[in-house]
C-alpha cells in the first residue's frame, strides 16, 4: 500500500485492487482518508478525485471532529503516556520515556494537528498494547484453560477484537484506552471464541462462566469506540 501527500489533508492511503473498476474515496470513523483504484490506474486520477471531493471531505471531517474527544496537554494516553504539546516549525510526534510529545506550528491547521495527534496516540498505544495485552491474555488463558495460537494487533475498523478459526486472536491497540476490567472482558470474549465461533447461547454461557458480570461490562463497552 502506498500513499500520496495532500497539502491540506496530509497522508492519504492509496489501495490498488484487481476488483476496483473506478477510483473511490473513503473516510473512516477516525477521519483517515483512503483512495482505492484499479491496478493500472494512474495516480493523478486519484488526486483529481480528491480535489473534486475536497468540500465534501471537509464537511465530513468537521462532523467527525465535532464528535471526537478533545485532547489536552497533560491527558493520559492509554496507561503510561502523558500527552504534551510543544511549538515547533512543523508537525510531528515522538515518544520520550512516558510522554507523547506533539509538535506543531503556532498557527495550526486543525486537520493536520488532529492527524498528528491521532498518529502519535496510535504509536503510543501500539507500544503499550505489545507490552501488556499478550501477557494479560496468556494469564487469562491459564486461568480459564483456553488455548490460542498467536496474537495480532490492529488499529483499524470498529472491532475491539476477533478470533479466527485457526485460533489467532486479533486485538485492537485502542483497547489500551479502556479501563482494565473492560480490557479483560474483551480478552475473555475472544478466548471463548476459541471454543464457540459464534454468539450463541452456549457462547454467552461460556463468557458468563469466566466473567459473571459480562452484561454490565458489555453495556459499558458500548460507550467507548476504538479510535481517537
Domains of the chain, first to last: 2-67 (no CATH), 76-124 (no CATH), 129-221 (3.30.2010.10)
Phi, psi values for residue 19, rounded to 5°: -90, -15
> Of 57-71, 95-109, 131-145, 187-201, which range is least confident?
57-71
pLDDT score for 62: 76
Q: Where are the beta strands (DSSP E) in 88-206?
A: 92-96, 99-104, 150-154, 161-163, 168-172
State pTM to two decimals. Answer: 0.75
Average pLDDT over residues 53-73: 81
Mean pLDDT of the chain: 91
- The pLDDT > 70 percentage for the chain reads 96
24-45, pLDDT tens digit by residue?
998 877 677 889 999 988 999 9
- Looking at per-residue confidence, does 203 or 15 come out higher? 203
Average pLDDT over residues 106-117: 84
Amino acid at each position: 500500500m502506498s500513499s500520496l501527500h495532500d497539502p491540506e489533508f496530509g497522508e492519504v492511503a492509496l489501495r490498488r485492487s484487481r476488483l476496483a473498476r473506478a477510483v473511490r474515496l473513503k473516510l473512516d470513523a477516525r477521519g483517515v482518508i483512503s483512495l482505492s483504484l484499479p491496478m493500472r490506474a494512474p495516480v493523478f486520477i486519484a488526486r483529481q478525485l480528491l480535489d473534486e471531493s475536497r468540500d465534501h471531505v471537509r464537511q465530513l471531517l468537521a462532523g467527525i471532529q465535532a464528535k471526537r474527544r478533545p485532547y489536552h496537554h497533560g491527558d493520559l494516553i492509554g496507561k503510561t503516556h502523558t500527552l504534551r504539546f510543544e511549538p515547533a516549525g512543523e508537525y510531528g510526534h515522538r515518544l520520550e520515556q512516558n510522554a507523547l510529545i506533539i509538535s506543531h506550528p503556532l498557527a495550526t491547521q486543525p486537520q493536520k494537528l488532529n492527524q498528528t495527534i491521532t498518529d502519535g496516540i496510535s504509536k503510543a498505544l501500539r507500544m503499550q498494547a505489545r507490552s501488556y495485552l499478550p501477557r494479560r491474555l496468556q494469564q487469562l488463558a491459564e486461568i480459564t484453560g483456553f488455548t490460542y495460537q498467536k496474537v495480532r494487533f490492529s488499529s483499524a475498523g470498529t472491532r475491539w477484537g476477533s478470533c479466527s478459526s485457526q485460533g489467532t486472536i486479533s486485538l485492537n491497540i485502542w483497547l489500551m484506552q479502556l479501563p482494565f476490567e473492560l480490557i479483560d472482558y474483551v480478552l475473555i470474549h475472544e478466548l471463548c471464541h476459541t471454543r464457540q465461533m459464534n454468539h450463541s447461547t452456549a457462547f454467552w454461557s461460556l463468557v458468563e462462566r469466566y466473567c459473571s458480570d459480562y452484561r454490565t461490562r458489555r453495556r459499558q463497552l458500548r460507550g467507548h469506540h476504538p479510535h481517537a
